[in-house]
Amino acid sequence: MRLAVVGATGMVGQSFLKVLEEYVQKGKLRIDEFYLFASARSAGRKLPWLGGEYEVEELTAQSFDRGIDVALFSAGGAASLQYAPIAASKGCVVIDNSSAWRMDGKVPLIVPEVNPEDVQWNKGIIANPNCSTAQAVVALWPLHKRYGIKRVVYSTYQAVSGAGMGGWNDLVEGLNGRSPRKFPHPIAGNCLPHIDVFMEDGYTKEEHKMINETRKIMHQPDLPITATAVRIPVFTGHSESINAELNSPFELEELTQLLANSPGIILQNDFTNNEYPMPLYADGRDEVFVGRIRRDYSVPDGVNLWVVADNLRKGAATNAVQIACLLNTTV
Amino acid sequence: MRLAVVGATGMVGQSFLKVLEEYVQKGKLRIDEFYLFASARSAGRKLPWLGGEYEVEELTAQSFDRGIDVALFSAGGAASLQYAPIAASKGCVVIDNSSAWRMDGKVPLIVPEVNPEDVQWNKGIIANPNCSTAQAVVALWPLHKRYGIKRVVYSTYQAVSGAGMGGWNDLVEGLNGRSPRKFPHPIAGNCLPHIDVFMEDGYTKEEHKMINETRKIMHQPDLPITATAVRIPVFTGHSESINAELNSPFELEELTQLLANSPGIILQNDFTNNEYPMPLYADGRDEVFVGRIRRDYSVPDGVNLWVVADNLRKGAATNAVQIACLLNTTV
C-alpha cells in the first residue's frame, strides 16, 4: 500500500504517524511507500517515522499524481473539500477526518466495529466520524443489534486535544494563569458547554454531529437522540454519560457480557474495586472503555453507560487506520 | 438571632462564615450572638468574622446549653447524628448540611425557592440538600409547576471542593504531579465517575441522593429520575447537563422567560454571544445559572438545560443561610 498522511504536522496527524507505526510493527498493515503532506508553512519539515525520516511536502493538486493508494486526511474541512475529490479522481481512496464529507449521501461514514460493509460503496472518499460519535457507537451498536435502541441522551466530557494544538495550549497556558487564545473562555478550572460553532437551533455543531453521525453509521436515520457536548480541562480522552432506552427487556448481566465480548470494547465495570473508565488511563489506547453499566429505573428498559476513549486514537487516527486496513483486505 | 456554626473550620464552614457576613452586611439577617464550634483538634483557633475575632470551641453535649436559636451544621454525618438531636432538645433549630437526616420522614429537606413552607413542620432539625440537588431543583421547579415534569436524566460535572479540603488539595497536588490522597484515582487531567461510595445497585450514593432528594424537595415521591455523577478537575462550581421530559407542550421562548423570572435563577442563554453558565464565573455567587436551553427533539416535550452554581454557596452555605432567614421570618 502506498499511503499518504495529509495534515501530518497537526495533532491528529501526529497520532496518524504513531498509530501507523504501531500497525506496521504489529504486522496489521503493510506500507510500501509513505508520504507526508501539509500546508506550505510546514513543507520541508522532517518527521521521524519507523526508524526513518520523511520530509513534509506541500499539498498541491499534483500531490496525488504519483499513484497513492490511500490518503489519510486531517488538514481541516477546506483542504478536504478542495483536495479529496482531486485525490479520488486519481485513483486514491481518501479517508477524511474532517466533517466536510461525513453527511454526504455519496460518502460512507465508517466505524469498522459497526458498519465495515459500507466501505464497499465508496467512490474514493470515506469519512471518519466525529471523535465523540466514534466511541459512542462502538458501545451502542451491540445493544442495538441485540435489543434495539429506542432513544439516546448523550452528555459529553471532552478533552482539549479535540480542539487541536490550540486547545491543548489553552489548557497548558491557562494553568499558568494566561488567557485563552483558541477557546472563547478560559478552560483551566472551568468547563465550556460549547464545542464547535453554535447552530440556529441553539445546539452546537458538535451536538448535531453526534446526533446525525450516530444515525448514519448505525443506519437508523430516525433514531431519537439528543446531545449536550462539553469541553472540560482534561488533555486527552473523551468521556461520555450515555443514557439509552432499549426496545426490549434485558438482563443487566447479559447486557454487560454482550458489551464485554463486543469488538473494540474493554469492560471496566467493577465498582467494588473502584474500576471504571477514565480518560487519563485511556490515553494512548486504541480501544473504547465501557463501565458504570447500570439499569435506569426511570423508564421500562433503560441503561446508563460511561464510555471513554482516546479522542486522538479511536476518535480519529485509529479509526481511520482501521478503515485503511478494511480497504487493504477488500482491494 | 443567636447563631452557631458547627464545623467552622471546614470548607463549607468557611463558606458559612463568608455568606453570613454578607447577609448581615446587607441587612438580610440579624445576628445578636455568634458562636463557632468544631472538633477538639480545631478548638482554640481564632477566626475573623465581621471585623471581630471568634474563638472556635470544642463541640460537646453542653455546647447548646446557652440558648442558641439556630445552628448551621457542617461537621460530617456522625457529628450531625450525635449532636443535632441534643441541640434540638435544647430549643435550637439545626440546619444540617450532612446527608444524615435528609431522608428522615420527620425532617424537612428544604430549598427555599422550592418548598419554603416545609420549614413549618420542623421539629428542631432541618436538612440542607446535597449540593448537586439544590441547584437542579431551583431550575426544575418552575418547569414542574407550569408544565409538569415526567422524567429527568442528570449528568453532573462536579468540582473537587465538593469533597472538602482533601478534594481541593488532591487537585492542587495532582497538577504538580503528586498522587491523590482523598480520591481513589488522580483527578488532575482526569475525570472520575465516582462521587461518594458505591451502592449495591451500582449507583453511587451521590446519584441516589440526587434522585431521592429531588423527589422529596419537589414532593414528587415517584418522579422518574436517573443520574450519573462525575468529578472533574474544576476547583469550585458544579455543572449539570439536565434532560427533562415535560408533561405538556411548551413554547421554548415562554419556558425560557419563565426560568429567567424565577427566584434564585440568573439566565445566561445568549449563545450568539458565547454566553452560557460556567463554573469559573459562578464562583462566589449565590444564584443558580441556567442556559443552553433548547428543545430536545427526541421526545414530544423535552428540554435540555445546562445548570451551574457555586457548590459551596447555593449547594451548601447559601441555601442553609436562606433557611435560617426563613426561620427568622416565621419565628
Which residues of chain A are within 8 Å of residue B234 when distances are taken between CB atoms? Answer: 189-191, 232-233
CATH, residue A112:
3.40.50.720
B278–A155: do the CB atoms touch at under 8 Å?
Answer: no
Q: Are residues B95 and B218 in the same domain?
A: no
Is residue A202 classed as helix, strand or coil in its secondary structure? coil
Q: Are residues A305 and A257 in the same domain?
A: yes
B155–A241: do the CB atoms touch at under 8 Å?
Answer: yes
Nearest to A190 among B189, B243, B280 (CB): B280
B239–A277: do the CB atoms touch at under 8 Å?
Answer: no
CA A106/CA A266 separation, integer angstroms: 33
CA of B264 vs chain A CAs: smallest distance (Å): 21
For B158-199, the pLDDT digits (tens) are 999 999 999 999 999 999 999 999 999 999 999 999 999 999
CA of A37 vs chain B CAs: smallest distance (Å): 32
Mean pLDDT, residues A139-151: 98
B304–A226: do the CB atoms touch at under 8 Å?
Answer: yes
A232–B235: do the CB atoms touch at under 8 Å?
Answer: no
Which residues of chain A are within 8 Å of residue B292 when distances are taken between CB atoms? Answer: 193, 202, 228
Nearest to A298 among B201, B224, B241 (CB): B224
Q: Are residues A191 and A250 in the same domain?
A: yes
Instruction: Return the pLDDT at B328.
Output: 76
CA of A249 vs chain B CAs: smallest distance (Å): 18
A297–B175: do the CB atoms touch at under 8 Å?
Answer: no
For B253-302, the pLDDT digits (tens) are 999 999 999 999 999 999 999 999 999 999 999 999 999 999 999 999 99
Q: Active-site residues of B: which are they?
A: 131, 238
How many beta-carbon contacts under 8 Å exist across A and B? 157
Interface test with B, best of A176, A256, A268, A296 (most B CBs within 10 A): A296
Q: Are residues B68 and B83 in the same domain?
A: yes
* The three cell numbers locating residue B288: 443558580
Question: What is the pLDDT confidence band of residue B213, given thresholds at 50, 70 and 90?
Answer: very high
Residue B331 has pLDDT above 50, yes or no: no
Question: What is the pLDDT confidence band of residue B330, given thresholds at 50, 70 and 90?
Answer: low
Is residue A189 classed as helix, strand or coil in its secondary structure? coil
For A60-117, the pLDDT digits (tens) are 999 999 999 999 999 999 999 999 999 999 999 999 999 999 999 999 999 999 999 9
Q: Are residues A67 and A80 in the same domain?
A: yes
For B89-113, the pLDDT digits (tens) are 999 999 999 999 999 999 999 999 9
Instruction: Return the pLDDT at A330.
Output: 52
For B132-153, the pLDDT digits (tens) are 999 999 999 999 999 999 999 9
Interface test with A, best of B160, B231, B234, B304 (most A CBs within 10 A): B304
Q: What is the dihedral of CA A288, A289, A294, A297, to 10 degrees?
A: -40
Residue A6 has pLDDT above 60, yes or no: yes
Residue A270 has pLDDT above 90, yes or no: yes
In A39-105, beta strands by DSSP E: 46-49, 52-58, 70-73, 93-96
- The answer to whether B303 and B255 are in contact (CB under 8 A) is yes
Is residue A155 classed as helix, strand or coil in its secondary structure? strand
CA of A275 vs chain B CAs: smallest distance (Å): 10
A234–B190: do the CB atoms touch at under 8 Å?
Answer: yes
Give me the numbers of helices (H) and strands (E) for chain B, helices first please.
Answer: 8, 13
Which residues of chain B are within 8 Å of residue A230 when distances are taken between CB atoms? Answer: 157, 239, 241
B299–A202: do the CB atoms touch at under 8 Å?
Answer: no
Is residue A131 classed as helix, strand or coil in its secondary structure? helix
Q: Are residues B276 and B325 in the same domain?
A: no
Q: Are residues A302 and A323 in the same domain?
A: no
DSSP A43: T
CA of B167 vs chain A CAs: smallest distance (Å): 14
CA of A294 vs chain B CAs: smallest distance (Å): 6
Nearest to A198 among B192, B239, B272 (CB): B272
Which residues of chain A are within 8 Å of residue B298 when distances are taken between CB atoms? Answer: 151-153, 224-226
| Mean pLDDT value across chain B | 97
A277–B304: do the CB atoms touch at under 8 Å?
Answer: no
B193–A239: do the CB atoms touch at under 8 Å?
Answer: yes
The HSE-up count of residue A117 (CA atoms within 13 Å, CB side) is: 3
Q: Count the domains in chain B.
A: 2
Q: Are residues B296 and B171 in the same domain?
A: yes
Interface test with A, best of B206, B232, B236, B245 (most A CBs within 10 A): B232
Nearest to A304 among B185, B224, B226 (CB): B226
Q: Are residues B136 and B123 in the same domain?
A: no
Which residues of chain B are within 8 Å of residue A189 when distances are taken between CB atoms? Answer: 233-235, 279-280
Which residues of chain A are within 8 Å of residue B280 when distances are taken between CB atoms? Answer: 185-186, 189-190
CATH, residue A306:
3.30.360.10
Q: What is the dihedral of CA A53, A14, A264, A278, to 10 degrees?
A: 130
Contacting residues for A82 by C-beta, under 8 A, at least 6 apart: none
Instruction: Return the pLDDT at B162.
Output: 96
Cell 469492560 belongs to A267
Which residues of chain B are within 8 Å of residue A304 when distances are taken between CB atoms? Answer: 226, 228
Question: What is the pLDDT confidence band of residue A328, given thresholds at 50, 70 and 90?
Answer: confident
Task: Residue B327: name the closest of B75, B3, B16 by CA.
Answer: B3
DSSP A198: B
- The answer to whether A224 and A152 are in contact (CB under 8 A) is yes
Residue B329 has pLDDT above 90, yes or no: no
Which residues of chain B are within 8 Å of residue A297 when distances are taken between CB atoms? Answer: 224, 226
Q: Residue B143: phi, psi to the nearest 5?
A: -70, -40
CA B150/CA A273 separation, integer angstroms: 35
Residue A331 has pLDDT above 50, yes or no: no
Mean pLDDT, residues A242-248: 98
- pTM value is 0.97
A274–B193: do the CB atoms touch at under 8 Å?
Answer: no
Q: Are residues A152 and A280 in the same domain?
A: yes
Given A92, A131, A144, A208, the catalytic residue:
A131
- The answer to whether B144 and B132 are in contact (CB under 8 A) is no
Which residues of chain B are within 8 Å of residue A192 when distances are taken between CB atoms? Answer: 276, 278
ipTM of the complex: 0.96
A131 is known as an active-site residue: yes
Provide the residue range defining the domain that includes A302.
132-311
Cell 466536510 belongs to A100
What is the percent of chain A with per-residue pLDDT over 70, rounded to a whole number? 99
B233–A233: do the CB atoms touch at under 8 Å?
Answer: yes
Cell 517515522 belongs to A49
Q: Are residues A158 and A117 in the same domain?
A: no
Q: Are residues B212 and B288 in the same domain?
A: yes
